[in-house]
Structure 1
Amino acid sequence: MQEMQVLKVCLLLLCFFPANHASHCILADEPTVSYVFPAGGQRGTTVRFHVGGHYLHDRCRFQMEGSGVTTVSNLQRTDKTVWFEGPVIPLQESQQKEDYPVDHAGSVTIAADAETGIRRWRVSTSQGVTLSRPFVVGELPEIVEQEIDGDPVPVSVQLPVTINGRIFPREDIDIWTFTLQQGQAVTCTVLAAGLESPLDARIWVTGPDGRILQQSDDFHGTDPRIAFIAPVTGQFQVHLQDANFGGLQDYVYRLSLVSELQADGMYPLGGRRHSTVPLQLSSGQQLLTTKEFLIGGSERTRYQLPEHPLWAAVSDLPEVMEPENDGEAVAAATVELEQVANGRIRKAGETDRWQLSLAAQETVMLDVFAARLGSPLDSVLTVLDPAGKLIAESDDLPNGVTDSQLRFTASEAGIWTVCVADRFADRGGVQFGYRLMIRSAKSDAPGFSLDLPVDAVSLPRGGEAKLKITAVRTGQFQGAIELIPENLPAGVAVEGNLIKAGGNETTLILKASKDAAVSLAPVTIRGRELRDATDASAAASSEAPEPADSKANA
């Protein structure tokens, strides 16, 4: 029987309000949220913030998940919401009414030893619960923009610093200024899309003479980044605006400025769990240093490097490094099944070759991880038989992912060659790394994982709510999957909790009785293979351990 897979969702059981006629009922508007500002804070501090939303009433419940943070339990509506009119945009009469979010105040205390990274938060009322949004725990000193109306005014800051700002109103430009000595290095990093902000940030740096030194639009997705060395001593400025000249209350961002060329790449891109791995850290195409890191031993498949905004991939397979001679790849390297091959396309037009000894009729699965790990490599994966004939090729994965993946069966015993290259012959460099997972089909154990697109749902008393749950099957597993909700409030029943054999999805229907109590509950949905009625009964009452890597938080 397949081990249980786990989903978690926040369920709010709602009341309803009688209409004028006893035979009808109406529901009030569900709450929505657009932003939290500031969108993060430094460890060891208390941060006062505003949440902007609709239908939050005078006060609403507030939750923030994760360790190291303590928050208020309720947000209180503020007396005034900050508003700047900005440039007038002529609209048709039918479009002229705009409904803007209203601010509600709260606070969070962040422990000095809190782990840096994302915490998820949400609000709820008796009419509904919102989807979660991110709040960032950082390690640098932080400031919050003091917003003013009118033309942009440069604001002086001291490095290192994380600036919490927002582009508001439309066409707003924020300007941050600081003094540098000649030869001093600075890295400017914007986080906006990572905050689920609509801001498509663009930044540029000007020197003491007012000329643009560098500019950046997209780096990490649509979030920009600039690293530079001051050519002279004097005042430098970072300018930030929306690339589409937009701006509103929810166009929030975090701009981090540090006085160093901060690493934005590494090689290799990961390592084996519990092992110490020497990683080459780089900024752009410039190698900075090589440091040894102990790859974390938790069940996670990613590990954040201490003091660096970089994540290393983690595997439980033996690791092989591409042999290099003075930084140049050798002609070919030997690899075996059930290994991870670490390589990089160091020079434009380079092709890496991995030689693999296979038995006749051996089926092999190849998976290149590059773009999924932040590498600029747009991989092309090919397989050559012992005679050097091309027998398989893969370019991109579905949904625009530029990594490669293929499965093939060796027609004869011998030395087969796996080739990795960039799709474009004029690209390559120190950051064009990849991880090539080489697995035997025999190791692809049958199983499944579960996924759903939301992490919260509102259920009215006497009504129903629907959740679409998708199963991702592996290893040719085709069995039926039973879904077992846990911690459901009293008076709530479920239908559709079976994914049929060979199927990939179901719609789980939650139904509440008319007298069910209004409540907010974290619900766990577990899935397991259903073979017969005996299995179903055991699954419903068992307390199987929760696999840490099988959680799918939408």
Structure 2
Amino acid sequence: MNWSDRPRDPVPWGDERMWMKPSATVCVLWMAVAIGLVEVPLQAQAPGVGHTFPAGGKAGTTVTVQLGGYDFTPDIDYFLHHSQATLKVSGQLGPYLVAPPPYWFGPKGRSSAFKIPRELTATFTLPAGLPRGPIHWQVANANGASGTAVFFVGDGPEVLESRLQSEPQLLAKLPVTVNGRLSKIAEVDRYTVTAAADGCLTVELYARRLGADFNGTLKIRDADGKLMADLIDTEGTDCVATVTVRKGQTYTIELADLDHRGHRSFVYRLEVIAGPRVVACLPSGGRPGTTVPVTFVGYGIKSGVAQLETLVSNVVFPKDDAGTGWYQHRLQTPHGQALPVSLRLAGFAELVEPTAGAARPLAPGAAITGTLSKRGEIDEYSFPAKAGQMFRFEAISAQIGTRLDPVLRVVDKDDKQVAVNDDFGNTLDARLDFKAPADGTYRLRLHNGTGEDGRIDSVYRLTSRLQSPGFTLSLPQAFAAPVGGKAALTVSCLRTGGFAEEISLKFAGLPEGVTVPAEIKIPKGKNQVKVNVEVA
């Protein structure tokens, strides 16, 4: 079969974080969290966001959507966390939406029921030139604040799935992104495309990355019903397939939930293009403002046949105006334009691993993109260190769209292991902080743990830097405090480079009537402090 399922463009979601220089032991925290001012006891149910349908739209358009959520009330406020796009609620809160038949019977009928959502109409206004990717919205009322939900900004034509026909929906022109949802149990959404030319057909599912709580299955069949691709998202990372197609032939795309479930919140985006797919890049990043020859690894990028191959092309790395640290690049090939691939924008010296037998020095401030092209391969790099110097080594794979499980080890001149790290941050990527115990030359070894090595797309990105003393602060995404009372807000600190000093905090931008103590400190050597937030 000419297909493969790969994770795509990991999206960095989570707590708001800020990096502080070591000299800045006094810092100002702007309240970036949504604060719910509660007029009833704290056990009252805060609202929850559920889904957006359609789940995305093209930059340069205004999109009418249904915002779905739970425990919404008439006094609810809506927030869009984006400086350019706007969100405007234009409708009234609708009724409770009980799932329509059919229903499960037997053992499945006794499984936990989904929450019952309510929806209301709103519009997203997306300026032209808005970068492709997710933007986030959030709600709050007197009972508290929700988490965030996703609306995805696209850069190509978009359509809605048709619910008025039982036959597969024809996608007459490619590329196109379909916005749909699996609203009923056992639902299978089908789409047909007719190839305009010989080449590749690539289909990518976005569901988990939109916050939808289902594991998708994706199938592609030819005109005779023969299965060409059969993917199951068992890891919760969504899936993508590329197959070889022939001019004039019709192909059917089938999408369903792995467990045959359905719900209004099971929204998805299905991006369909007549073109190849990139799965890895060497190097995997570049300095903004530079032009770099990049070796792309992908399906059909050179021959137009859905097979793994390489193609070299120059990439102009733009300035990071959006401040994301990433650049979405679309490779133009003789067989069509590929789906976008994420390239890192950073100030590192971007290198590609040396050929076999060559010296492999690893200098601080360098980023090396390498490949574990043989099963069980171990890549080794050497670096000098002075006693007490602190280094941070990072080996990423998931963030650049590949499927390795990097493991990092440091050994000394006697081949004795002195430091090791496998996973960090709920990912399979590795981060190793190392303090040199003595002067000398050390070796950093990188190998694959439980991931997929032994292929030309088994690519990693290794970075090295000297650690300066400093810290990172984080706040919870949502926080509730009672009107006329107080609640404890936890401010967490991640120390780096041996920094252990006391940190003084100051809050700015608090709502009227909300106060915190004048003096707030994270004690020396501690990693968090609870701040009493008082509401008048």
Question: Shorter-chain TM-score: which interval?
Answer: 0.7 to 0.9
Deviation at 1:155, TM superposition (A): 0.9
CA contact (8 A) 2:290 2:317 kept: yes
CA 1:103–1:362 in structure 2 vs 1: closer, same or farther (change >3 Å)? Answer: closer
SS in 2 for 1:132: strand
Deviation at 1:169, TM superposition (A): 0.8
Deviation at 1:172, TM superposition (A): 1.0
Distance 2:74 2:452 in 1: 59
For 1:467, give the aligned amino acid. L
| 2:401 equivalent to 1:378 | no
Which is further off, 470-479 or 457-466? Answer: 457-466
Which is further off, 28-37 or 100-109? Answer: 28-37
Give the alignment partner of residue 140 of structure 1, picking from 140, 147, 156: 156
Give the alignment partner of residue 13 of structure 1, picking from 26, 34, 37: 37
**1:149-199: CA deviation from partner (whole Å, max 9, x where unpaired):** 9xx531111321111111111121111111115633111111111111102
| 2:238 equivalent to 1:223 | yes
Match of 1:280 in 2: 295
| 2:372 equivalent to 1:345 | yes
Q: Which 4+ runs in 1 deviate beyond 6 A?
A: 25-28, 91-98
CA contact (8 A) 2:402 2:460 kept: yes
Deviation at 1:14, TM superposition (A): 4.0
Deviation at 1:248, TM superposition (A): 0.6
**1:451-490: CA deviation from partner (whole Å, max 9, x where unpaired):** 1332x33333113333322110011111222332222223
| 2:487 equivalent to 1:471 | no
CA contact (8 A) 2:293 2:312 kept: no
Higher Cα radius of gyration: 1
Which is further off, 479-488 or 253-262? Answer: 479-488
Match of 1:241 in 2: 256
For 1:101, give the aligned amino acid. P
Distance 1:381 1:95 in 2: 42
CA contact (8 A) 2:28 2:507 kept: no
CA contact (8 A) 1:67 1:114 kept: no
Match of 1:461 in 2: 483
CA 1:240–1:357 in structure 2 vs 1: closer, same or farther (change >3 Å)? Answer: same
- Please list every run of 5 or more consecutive structure 2 residues that lacks an aligned counterpart in the other structure: 1-22, 300-307, 331-338
CA 1:420–1:233 in structure 2 vs 1: closer, same or farther (change >3 Å)? Answer: same
Where in structure 2 are the equivalents of 1:76-95 lying within 5 Å?
76-78=92-94, 83-89=99-105
Distance 2:95 2:129 in 1: 34
TM-score, length-scaled by structure 1: 0.79
Give the alignment partner of residue 204 of structure 2, picking from 171, 189, 206: 189
Match of 2:344 in 1: 313
SS in 1 for 2:430: coil
TM-score, length-scaled by structure 2: 0.81
- Please list every run of 5 or more consecutive structure 1 residues that lacks an aligned counterpart in the other structure: 17-24, 514-554
CA contact (8 A) 2:280 2:459 kept: no
CA contact (8 A) 1:370 1:377 kept: yes
Give the alignment partner of residue 449 of structure 1, picking from 457, 461, 472: 472
Match of 1:396 in 2: 422
Match of 1:159 in 2: 174
CA contact (8 A) 2:182 2:263 kept: yes
CA 1:358–1:80 in structure 2 vs 1: closer, same or farther (change >3 Å)? Answer: closer
CA contact (8 A) 1:48 1:108 kept: yes
For 2:395, give the aligned amino acid. V
Instruction: Indicate the RMSD between aligned Cα atoms, in angstroms.
Output: 3.3
SS in 1 for 2:209: helix
Deviation at 1:256, TM superposition (A): 0.5
Where in structure 2 are the equivalents of 1:25-36 lying within 5 Å?
29-36=45-52
Distance 2:227 2:524 in 1: 61
Give the alignment partner of residue 271 of structure 2, picking from 228, 231, 256: 256
Match of 2:11 in 1: none
Distance 2:204 2:510 in 1: 43
For 1:40, give the aligned amino acid. G
For 2:341, give the aligned amino acid. L
| 2:439 equivalent to 1:423 | no
Which is further off, 36-45 or 443-452? Answer: 443-452
Deviation at 1:219, TM superposition (A): 8.7
Deviation at 1:213, TM superposition (A): 0.3
Identity of aligned residues (%): 25
Match of 1:53 in 2: 69
